[in-house]
Amino acid sequence: MSRSRHWLVGIVGTLLAGCTTFRTPIPLTDAAPGHTTFHAIPVGDKSRTFLLHLPPAAATRRVPLVLVFHGHTANADVAMRTSEMNRMADSLGIAVLYPDGSGRVRGIGLSWNVGSCCGYAQAHQVNDIAFVDSLHAAMIRTRRIDMNAVFAAGFSAGGMMAPKVACERATIVRAVADVAGAMPDAVCTPAAPVAVLLIHGDDDDELRYDHSRGATTGAPAYARSYDSAAVFWERINRCAGTGSANTTQMPGSGVRSRVASACGSGRPVQVVSIPAHPHAWPGGRSSWWFAPKPSKVLDGSAFVLTFFAEQLRRDSASTSRR
């Protein structure tokens, strides 16, 4: 797939998703448990938009929060629709925030600035970490979020944003999940250890496992393969036997998992490989008719949220033993 066709696929998928271009943001004070609402906040001299889904549990207590970053040329609506994360998040009592990237037109062809990628955001040197900071401050003001239980996940270029947040704002996220993304091409010096989940498909021609240039896509090569990214985080997290964790196969699915869990920081690193899975959110929906069809052998949203919830349980158990 050429770059121009990749861009067209993203644009058409965005339009079919019922994009935020045609919505009017409402005050954050109007966000309600059990609903998804559209908001805007100032970031420097710009207005940035996002969707916020609060679970019913937010009516009675402060809940954990997951930031979910969309892929290149998509938007918050596409991320929400293709991942189908809200249903599982409701059952676990977790809020989900879907930020919009930047582009020439609101809600269409949006991108993130993550080093060598991508599009408008990279060309205009948009400060997306400043956006994350503003979102963090806004969530504090809602008084519905447990700010000690914040996580980040993303797909493709949005998957690159998740480790970028870990690199630059490790003090505000406990764990991140990179789905079909890559380590950003930038210096990464996290201020604290962060649990990391890396998920990729064996048939992903947009971003190969070794991050070599895609044979049919013209996609760029990135600095760290999945293996080297895992080793990087294992070293940061002080995991025993860096790079030597055994790979196991999940029964009946062919999904392979490698977990480094004996980490001095208490922050594990896991790499998951899905057979016959393309460049798509695992177990989710296609962004439009001709987009790659996700494999259904793994529910990506359930897996990501369970990984995050397990980190909360680990931390709670560690605290109770002190």
pLDDT at 139 over 50: yes
Percent of the residues in the chain that have a pLDDT greater than 70, as a whole number:
86
pLDDT at 13 over 70: no
Q: What pLDDT was estimated at residue 125?
A: 95
pLDDT, average across residues 258-268: 94
Q: What pLDDT was estimated at residue 216?
A: 42
CB-facing half-sphere around the CA of 269: CA atoms within 13 A: 29
117 vs 306 pLDDT, higher one? 306
Domain that residue 198 falls in: 3-320
Q: What pLDDT was estimated at residue 252?
A: 79
Side by side, the strands of the sheet bearing 95-99 are: 36-43, 46-53, 95-99, 63-69, 145-155, 175-179, 195-201, 269-274, 256-260, 247-249
pLDDT at 18 over 60: no
Read off the pLDDT of residues 57-89 as tens digits, 9 standing for 90 and up.
Answer: 999 999 999 999 999 999 999 999 999 999 999
Total-model pTM: 0.90
The CA-to-CA distance between both ends of the chain, in Å, stands at 54
43 with 138: CB under 8 angstroms?
A: no
Q: Report how far residue 158's alpha carbon sits from residue 35's, in angstroms, rounded to the nearest whole number.
A: 23
Tell me, what CATH number does 67's domain have?
A: 3.40.50.1820
Q: What is the mean pLDDT of the chain?
A: 88
pLDDT, average across residues 89-110: 95
pLDDT at 274 over 70: yes
pLDDT, average across residues 245-262: 90
pLDDT band at 106 (very low <50, low <70, confident <90, very high): confident
Domain count, the chain: 1
**CB atoms near residue 180 (< 10 Å):** 27
CB-facing half-sphere around the CA of 136: CA atoms within 13 A: 18
Q: What pLDDT was estimated at residue 222?
A: 54
pLDDT, average across residues 86-114: 95
